[in-house]
Amino acid sequence: MKKLVSIGKASVLFIAVALLPVLAVAQSDAQRIAELEAKTAAMAEALTALQGELKQAKQDGTLANTAELKSEIVKATQYAQRAEKAANEWKNSTAVTHIAGYAAVGYTDEENAMDSFDVANFNPIYHFQYGDRILWESELEVNVGDDGQTEVGLEYSTIDIFLNDYAVLVAGKFISPLGQFRQNIHPSWINKSVSAPPGFGHDGAAPLTDVGLQIRGGVPLGEQVKITYSGFVANGPRLEGEGGELHGIDTDGFASDADDEKVFGGRLSILPLPKLEIGISGAFGDAAIVENDGLGLVGDPSRDYQVFGVDYAYQWGNFDFRGEYIEQDVGNAAGSVASKGGKWATWYTQTAYKFGDAKWEGVVRYADYDSPHGDETQKQWALGINYLLTPNAIIKLGYEFNDGLAGEKTDNDRLLIQVAYGY
């Protein structure tokens, strides 16, 4: 019996020992479940918070903004691309409009005359260009006259057609290509002297403008030497008579030809060095008196008209040398109100020197103008000092020693001040 009891005890013990790990397992499962439950609860909490945030975000529109932002970025990129294209457009456009020109104001203190602010002009230049084929250039001259009236003139207006690398066809009213002063130097911001040399104004020795056709260009001769040319056919000048004499040659450029004979002319120049140009000019044709004693005249016989000129320009270091001779001749005409012809001739030579960091410039010019009329004939020494505010804005102070017929304006010395700006 005792043995049976002990077997029972041993069995219980055995079962208990065998069950121990099971119990242990049961114990760790419970722990894990508890942990999982805790995690789940935490996740549920986080989810609720997230849902809350989401709800809030939807209410705030933050999410909607993100989508909008995306489309904004796309739009902005497209806009930037268009803007970049537009920004470069003007660099690549075929047709270009450009405004240039110059303006000047001046004061003259003349011997035996009133001192006045006597220059106030504004010359706008318009350029309309089509690729490398066409340039339309027009210059207006707007100034205040002695009487306070504003005067407007068409200085030139031409269509320039680039035929090839060596030839441009110029049609319209053009600056006379004869000589150098008129076509290259006369704008006030370019002319280093305050005034034009005697004989280069209206009714003088040098032709101003003409209406017709011109062909011009440049041709290289080898590496360094270059030739330039211009040839034209145009209406030519009109003559004025006064008191039975030929008064002057009006070369303001006319859109009609009073004598029905065209004027042909041109200039040929050579540049043996890049900074040295030597030119020779000539023209011939007919001209007729169309105005006598201030009244219109029709039917006066036409007569020979000729121009001849030579010019040079040379830059050497800070020096600028230039000079020019030009004459206009008119032949005799039997049966005219002024039958005797005449010759208007002038020449000048000018030296300019830049100093003081190219801010200052000294100029000396000598000129000698011969006209059939004694009161126009003049010899002149002109001295000047210029201050260059910029390369195209100049303050000029000049003094002219004039030697003309005693008692005439051409004999009065003058002090001149001018401010000129080319833009």
Q: Count of residues binding other proteins (CB under 8 A)?
A: 70
Name the one range near ligand HEC by CB under 6 A: 184-192, 241-249, 284-292, 332-340: 184-192
Amino acid (1-letter code) at residue 327: E
Q: Is 187 in the site for ligand HEC (CB under 6 A)?
A: yes
According to DSSP, residue 301 is labeled P
The dihedral over CA atoms of 57, 60, 63, 67, expressed in degrees to the nearest 10, equals 180
Give residue 172's region: left, alpha or beta (phi > 0; psi -120 to 50).
left
Residues 39 to 98 in contact with other proteins, rule: CB under 8 A? 90-93, 96-98
Element (DSSP H or E) covering residue 22: helix 2-60
Q: Is 189 in the site for other proteins (CB under 8 A)?
A: yes
Query: Do residues 200 and 345 touch, judged by C-beta distance below 8 A?
Result: no
* The two three-digit tokens of residue 398, written as one number: 């000049």
Write down the least CB distance from residue 139 to ligand HEC, Å.
5
Give residue 213's region: left, alpha or beta (phi > 0; psi -120 to 50).
beta
Residue nearer to other proteins on the CB measure, 39 or 98: 98
**Furthest-apart CA pair in the chain: how many Å?**
184
Look at residues 275, 367, 292 and name the one whose alpha carbon lies nearest to residue 333: 292
According to DSSP, residue 373 is labeled S
Radius of gyration from C-alpha coordinates of the chain: 46
Write down the least CB distance from residue 208 to ligand HEC, Å.
13
Write down the least CB distance from residue 320 to other proteins, Å.
9
- The partner in contact with residue 58, picked from other proteins, ligand HEC, none with C-beta cut-offs of 5 to 8 angstroms by kind, is none
Contact flags string 283-302 toward other proteins, x per CB under 8 A:
xx------------------
- The partner in contact with residue 217, picked from ligand HEC, other proteins, none with C-beta cut-offs of 5 to 8 angstroms by kind, is other proteins
Q: Binding residue for other proteins (CB under 8 A) from 101, 103, 108, 137?
A: 137
Amino acid (1-letter code) at residue 389: L
Name the one range near other proteins by CB under 8 A: 56-64, 268-276, 367-375, 412-420: 268-276
- The partner in contact with residue 96, picked from other proteins, ligand HEC, none with C-beta cut-offs of 5 to 8 angstroms by kind, is other proteins
Write down the least CB distance from residue 101 to ligand HEC, Å.
7
Q: Is 223 in the site for other proteins (CB under 8 A)?
A: no
For 115-141, the DSSP string reads: -EEEEEEEEEEEEEEETTTEEEEEEEE
Contact flags string 247-276 toward ligand HEC, x per CB under 6 A:
------------------------------
Contact flags string 92-111 toward ligand HEC, x per CB under 6 A:
--------x-----------
What angle, rounded to 10 degrees, do the helices at 62-92 and 2-60 form?
40
Write down the least CB distance from residue 225 to ligand HEC, Å.
16
Query: Do residues 246 and 330 touch, judged by C-beta distance below 8 A?
Result: yes
Element (DSSP H or E) covering residue 160: strand 150-164
Look at residues 386, 385, 367 and name the one whose alpha carbon lies nearest to residue 377: 367
Secondary structure (3-state) at 5:
helix
Residues 233 to 252 in contact with other proteins, rule: CB under 8 A? 233
Chain residue at closest Cβ approach to ligand HEC: 100
Q: Footprint of other proteins on this chain (CB under 8 A)?
A: 90-93, 96-98, 100, 125, 127, 129, 131-133, 135, 137, 160, 162-168, 170, 183-185, 187, 189-190, 215-220, 228-233, 264-269, 274-275, 277, 280-284, 304, 306-308, 313, 315, 329, 331-332, 388, 391-392, 422
Q: Footprint of ligand HEC on this chain (CB under 6 A)?
A: 100, 125, 139, 184, 187, 190, 422
